[in-house]
Structure 1
Amino acid sequence: MRILVLGGDGYLGWPTALHLSDCGHEVAVADNYARRGYDHEMGVESLVPIEPMQVRLDAWREVSGKSIKSYYGDLVDGEFTMAMVADYRPDAIVHFAEQRAAPYSMIDRQHAVYTQQNNVIGNLNVLFAIQQVDPEIHLVKLGTMGEYGTPNIDIEEGWLEVTHNGRTDRMLYPKKPGSFYHLSKVHDSHNIEFACRIWGLRATDLNQGVVYGQETPQTSLDTRLATRFDYDAIFGTVLNRFVIQAVLGHPLTVYGTGGQTRGVIDIRDTVECIRLAAENPADRGEFRVFNQMTERYSVGEIAKIVANNYEGPVEIEYLDNPRVEQGEHYYNVKHTGLLELGLQPHLLSNTLIESLFRVADKHKDRVDVAAMRPTVNWREAASPLR
């Protein structure tokens, strides 16, 4: 297959491109390198050093003997997006190319507006490019479990059968996002479903849980192929932060009571889910949704897993929660679709022992401790302009 990976310079986009290439697919990547720009804006950097795209591409060619084509441009530019899709003529487009951090979207009005414009308009341009170049192209879009929020009922895979006043219908599962970033993903999902229903496009929406891990079999072949390891309070995941804090001998900082429960997934499973979705495309006119997660834990449980698996003493510190979210809640997610396609999940405790502590310890001299403290308050971001 010919597969175009949008956001191919990112934390997940880069290892996904390598995985697909290694599995025998012809791969191209596209990026505007905005994610590297966010680092400069926030004054942080990846714990693990990452190379420029051209160095990465050259290294992959040396290691694997395979080439990956590269496009530079912004999806918000509709003419660029159209020209790129027309030039490459992919069988599938994997769409990672969005601003992905909830805290970043909640900094202030400008960051909220940027996130929505960048994500929603870019995704719309991709849909129009598919419709006009080749409606047979299968869109594999990275969504987020955060679209659903934490409803007091089971979370189905994208769709819900509802009986109301004696009549039954199948509709998109109700969404209750917790940030302007997650709202942008909801808008994406609605726009994609509309395009499938009206234009007959084919799409798979992957509502992904929190990803952990930094190494895949491909990125481990050469240090130049490494992907990001974000640990700061804006772009880092809670698990990465806990691992860094444990290695440094600092308390693990849990927001609120730690009862917030989320789905999680190993980065090796993420890239495999993309392969499975691409190789088993949705039907024409089908908006297919998979909940891309393998385990579920509360933040408090994750902190205890990190503490129990680390060789030294670890303390846990509870902070006031800067986010607006339920501290304790029901959380039961259906996630059978990818398992039925053949996914064989890795487990969190094994990844911590095998990889994360080792990676964190190797690069601990690069840690900016201050960057791990929360600086964005959801309630302040929602306040009237002063």
Structure 2
Amino acid sequence: MRILVLGGDGYLGWPTALHLSDRGHEVAVADNFARRGYDHEMGVQSLVPIEPMQTRVDAWREVSGKSIKSYYGDLVDADFTYEMVRDFRPDTIVHFAEQRAAPYSMIDRKHAVYTQQNNVVGNLNVLFAIQEIDPSIHLVKLGTMGEYGTPNIDIEEGWLEVSHKGRTDRMLFPKKPGSFYHLSKVHDSHNIEFACRIWGLRATDLNQGVVYGQETAQTALDPRLATRFDYDAIFGTVLNRFVIQAVLGHPLTVYGTGGQTRGLIDIRDTVECIRLAAENPADAGEFRVFNQMTESFSVEEIAKVVANGFDGTVDVEYLDNPRVEQAEHHYNVVHTGLVELGLEPHLLSNTLIDSLFGVAKAHVDRVDLGAMRPTVQWRSGSSPMRADG
């Protein structure tokens, strides 16, 4: 199968490309390297050094004997998007290429507008390229569990049977996103469903939980193949931040009471979910939704997992929550679709935590302590990082 991975230089895009290539698929990656630019803008860096794309591609060829083609360009540029799809002629497009951080989208007007334009327009260009060039292409799109928010009912996989005044219909599950980033993903989902319904396209929308881990079977083969490890308050995950704070002997910074619950997934499961979705495509005209998570924890429970897995004393510091979200809420998510396709989940364990502690200890000299403190306030509409007055 020919698979084009958009956002192939990113935290998940790169290991996904390697996983798919390793499983025998002909893979190409595309990126505009905006994610590396965000590091410069925010004054932060990946804890684990990452190589330039060409070095990564060359290293994979040396290690595996397999080639990955690379494209440089921006999906917001429709001409580039069309030319790339015409040139590579993919059977499947895996779409990671979006600004992915809720705090980044909430910095100020400039960053909110950029997130919406970059994500929504880029995704629309991909849809039109598929429709005009080859409608049989299967789109595998990375969404987020954050599209749903935290409703006071169980979260189904994308769709909901609704009965109202004696009539019943199947509708997209109601969305209640918590940031401009999550809103952009909701717009994507609606646009993709529309394209499937009106144009007969085929798409799988993967509403992904918080990803943890830094290593897959392929990235472990050579240090040049390493993917990112983000820990800062803008792009980092709470688990990564806790791991580094524990290694440094600092308190784990929990926002609010820590009762906020989220779905989690191991990076090794993420890349396998993409493979399963690609090799078992949606039907023509089908908008298929999978909730791509394996288990759920509250923030306070994640802190306890880290504390219990660390060989030392760990304290917890409760900070005022910079976000606008429920402190305690119902959270029960249906996530059976990918398991039915064959996913065998890795669950959060001390084995994984130990590996993350090892990563943190190996690169502790690269930690920027100031980057871990929250600076973006949801209610203010601007932050000290505001760049445009």
TM range (shorter): over 0.9
The residue correspondences of 1:102-141 to structure 2 (distance < 5 A) are 102-141=102-141
Letter in 2 for 1:94: V
Calculate percent identity across the aligned residue pairs. Answer: 86
> 2:285 maps to which residue?
285
Letter in 1 for 2:257: T
Letter in 2 for 1:374: P
> 1:372 maps to which residue?
372
- Alpha-carbon displacement from aligned partner over 1:88-112 (angstroms, at most 9, x marks no partner): 0000000000000000000000000
> 1:256 maps to which residue?
256
SS at match of 1:380: coil
Supply the distance in 1 between the matched residues of 2:187 and 2:374 (Cα, whole angstroms): 27
Letter in 2 for 1:189: S
Supply the distance in 2 between the matched residues of 1:23 and 1:250 (Cα, whole angstroms): 41
Q: Is the 8 A contact 1:306 1:352 kept in 2?
A: no
Unaligned runs of 5+ in 1: none
Q: Is the 8 A contact 1:106 1:112 kept in 2?
A: yes
Letter in 2 for 1:276: L
Supply the distance in 2 between the matched residues of 1:355 and 1:112 (Cα, whole angstroms): 35
> 2:14 maps to which residue?
14
Supply the distance in 1 between the matched residues of 2:17 and 2:304 (Cα, whole angstroms): 33
> 1:202 maps to which residue?
202
- Alpha-carbon displacement from aligned partner over 1:311-348 (angstroms, at most 9, x marks no partner): 01000000000000000000000000000001011111
The residue correspondences of 1:238-249 to structure 2 (distance < 5 A) are 238-249=238-249
Q: Is the 8 A contact 1:51 1:225 kept in 2?
A: yes
Indicate the RMSD between aligned Cα atoms, in angstroms: 1.1
Q: Is the 8 A contact 1:153 1:330 kept in 2?
A: yes
SS at match of 1:379: coil
> 1:320 maps to which residue?
320
> 1:272 maps to which residue?
272
> 2:36 maps to which residue?
36
Matched, 1:169 2:185: no
- Alpha-carbon displacement from aligned partner over 1:355-384 (angstroms, at most 9, x marks no partner): 11111111011000000000000001179x
- Alpha-carbon displacement from aligned partner over 1:121-150 (angstroms, at most 9, x marks no partner): 000000000001100000000000000000
Distance 1:351 1:185, change over 3 A: farther
- Alpha-carbon displacement from aligned partner over 1:205-244 (angstroms, at most 9, x marks no partner): 0000000000000000000000000000000000000000
Q: Is the 8 A contact 1:30 1:71 kept in 2?
A: yes
Per-residue deviation, 1:353: 3.6
Supply the distance in 2 between the matched residues of 1:253 and 1:276 (Cα, whole angstroms): 36
Q: TM-score, normalised by structure 2?
A: 0.98
Q: Is the 8 A contact 2:246 2:252 kept in 1?
A: yes
> 1:329 maps to which residue?
329
> 1:5 maps to which residue?
5
Distance 1:80 1:351, change over 3 A: farther
Deviating more after overlay: 258-267 vs 349-358: 349-358
SS at match of 1:39: helix
Per-residue deviation, 1:351: 4.7
> 2:90 maps to which residue?
90
Supply the distance in 2 between the matched residues of 1:353 and 1:186 (Cα, whole angstroms): 32
- Alpha-carbon displacement from aligned partner over 1:230-260 (angstroms, at most 9, x marks no partner): 0000000000000000011000000000000
SS at match of 2:39: helix
SS at match of 2:374: coil
How many aligned residue pairs are there? Answer: 385
Q: Is the 8 A contact 1:7 1:31 kept in 2?
A: yes
Supply the distance in 2 between the matched residues of 1:219 and 1:332 (Cα, whole angstroms): 33
> 2:235 maps to which residue?
235
> 1:57 maps to which residue?
57
- Alpha-carbon displacement from aligned partner over 1:187-213 (angstroms, at most 9, x marks no partner): 000000000000000000000000000
> 2:179 maps to which residue?
179
Deviating more after overlay: 343-352 vs 179-188: 343-352
> 2:219 maps to which residue?
219
Per-residue deviation, 1:295: 0.7
Q: Is the 8 A contact 2:324 2:379 kept in 1?
A: yes
Supply the distance in 1 between the matched residues of 2:135 and 2:37 (Cα, whole angstroms): 33
Supply the distance in 1 between the matched residues of 2:382 and 2:145 (Cα, whole angstroms): 22
> 2:302 maps to which residue?
302
SS at match of 2:288: strand
Deviating more after overlay: 341-350 vs 68-77: 341-350
Supply the distance in 1 between the matched residues of 2:382 and 2:369 (Cα, whole angstroms): 27
Per-residue deviation, 1:349: 1.5
Per-residue deviation, 1:354: 4.3
SS at match of 1:304: helix
Q: TM-score, normalised by structure 1?
A: 0.99
Supply the distance in 1 between the matched residues of 2:301 and 2:232 (Cα, whole angstroms): 20
Supply the distance in 2 between the matched residues of 1:164 and 1:354 (Cα, whole angstroms): 50
Per-residue deviation, 1:352: 3.1
Q: Is the 8 A contact 2:376 2:382 kept in 1?
A: no
Q: Is the 8 A contact 1:269 1:346 kept in 2?
A: yes
